[in-house]
Amino acid sequence: MIRNSESVINECYVSQILPDTFDNDFFPGYDKVNISWEEMKRVLDKDSWKAALQNQKGVYLITDKSNGKMYIGAAYGENMIWGRWKSYIETGHGGNEGLKKLTFDHIKRNFSYSILDIFKSTTDEQIIIEREIWWKKVLQSKEFGYNEN
């Protein structure tokens, strides 16, 4: 059945005005995050992403899709994962020596970001550091990737 809008327009009402254009960029869940640099730039400040990431410590993976090299990082400082990823949006390298050798354009074109482990905000940072070390060993990101420490 098809109805012409003219026949129902007077029965319609505005139920909500969204603060931004609806883009369906809701946070998908920690185990489903695998986004490009461009996607991260677009969604990082969305309410659902910011709320989810700034309250979780964790270990994350950056993959260079052009060559398969990986970088393992840990987030336990101010604003946790959101704060670390925000620095990648601003600088590309987030202060990491192995990533500073790459151009920002290369990072923007080729990097993807995912989450390996999450921890609640009260978790001792030494636990996060130990998991970061474990993931570096498992994925051999020091030998074959961008981790230099």
2, part of any domain: no
- Better pLDDT: 102 or 15: 102
Model pLDDT, residue 24: 64
18, part of any domain: no
Q: What is the pLDDT of residues 74-113, one digit of tens each?
A: 999 899 999 999 999 999 999 999 999 999 999 999 999 9
**What is the reported pTM?**
0.84
58, part of any domain: yes
Residue with tokens 């604003």: 79
97, part of any domain: yes
pLDDT at 22 over 70: no
Alpha-carbon gap, residue 2 to 91, rounded angstroms:
52
Instruction: Identify the band that residue 15 occupies on the pLDDT scale cut at 50, 70 and 90.
Output: confident
Model pLDDT, residue 21: 60
- List, as one string, the DSSP characters of 7-74: GTGGG-------SS---------GGG-EEEHHHHHHHTTSHHHHHHHTTEEEEEEEEETTT--EEEEE
Q: What is the pLDDT of residues 33-67, one digit of tens each?
A: 999 999 999 999 999 999 999 999 999 999 999 99
Residue 30 main-chain phi, psi, to 5 deg:
-60, -35
What is the number of structural domains in the chain? 1
Mean pLDDT along residues 128-146: 98
Of 15, 75, 24, 17, give the one whose Cα is nearest residue 46: 24
3, part of any domain: no
123, part of any domain: yes
91, part of any domain: yes
Alpha-carbon gap, residue 103 to 88, rounded angstroms:
12
SS3 content of the chain, % helix, strand, coil (to 5): 45, 20, 40
Segments forming the whole domain that contains residue 47: 25-144
66, part of any domain: yes
- What is residue 100's DSSP assignment? H
Model pLDDT, residue 14: 85
The CATH number for 30's domain is 3.40.1440.10
